[in-house]
Amino acid sequence: MIDEQLSEDERFMRQALTEARKAFEQGEVPVGAVVVWNGRIVGRGHNLVETLSDATAHAEMQAITAAASSVGGKYLAECKLYVTVEPCVMCAGACFWSQLGAVVYGASDPKRGAGRLSPSPFHPKTVVRGGVLQDECEELMTRFFARLRT
Amino acid sequence: MIDEQLSEDERFMRQALTEARKAFEQGEVPVGAVVVWNGRIVGRGHNLVETLSDATAHAEMQAITAAASSVGGKYLAECKLYVTVEPCVMCAGACFWSQLGAVVYGASDPKRGAGRLSPSPFHPKTVVRGGVLQDECEELMTRFFARLRT
pLDDT in tens, B31-81: 999 999 999 999 999 999 999 999 999 999 999 999 999 999 999 999 999
B50 is catalytic: no
Contact indicator for A68, B54 with CB cutoff of 8 Å: yes
> Distance between CA atoms of B129 and B120, rounded to whole angstroms?
14
Can you say how many angstroms the Cα of residue A62 is from the centroid of all Cα atoms in its chain? 10
What average pLDDT score do residues A13-23 get? 98
> Does pLDDT of B131 surpass 70?
yes
pLDDT at A2: 58
**CA terminus-to-terminus distance, chain B:** 46
- Of the candidates A8, A61, A52, the residue with the CA atom closest to the CA atom of residue A31: A61
Residues of B whose CB is below 8 A from A72: 53
Distance from CA of A2 to the nearest CA of B (A): 32
Distance from CA of B108 to the nearest CA of A (A): 18
Nearest CA in chain A to B72: A53
Nearest C-alpha neighbor of B48 from the set B70, B68, B32: B32
What per-residue confidence (pLDDT) applies to A5? 61
Q: In this predicted structure, what is the pLDDT of residue B148?
A: 81
Q: Using CA atoms, how far apart are residues A47 and B111, in angstroms rounded to an integer?
A: 30
Q: What is the pTM of this model?
A: 0.94
Q: What is the mean pLDDT of residues A71-86?
A: 97
CA–CA distance, A135 with B59 (Å, rounded to integer): 37
The answer on pLDDT for B136 being more than 90 is yes
User: Does the pLDDT at position A33 exceed 60?
Assistant: yes
Q: What is the pLDDT of residue B14?
A: 97
Distance from CA of B88 to the nearest CA of A (A): 8
pLDDT value, residue A147: 86
Mutate to test the interface with A, among B47, B97, B123 (most CBs of A within 10 A): B97
Using a CB-CB cut-off of 8 Å, the residues of chain B touching A74 are 49-50, 53-55
Are the C-beta atoms of B103 and B87 separated by less than 8 Å? yes
At A124, the pLDDT band (50, 70, 90 cuts) reads very high
pLDDT of residue A3 exceeding 70? no
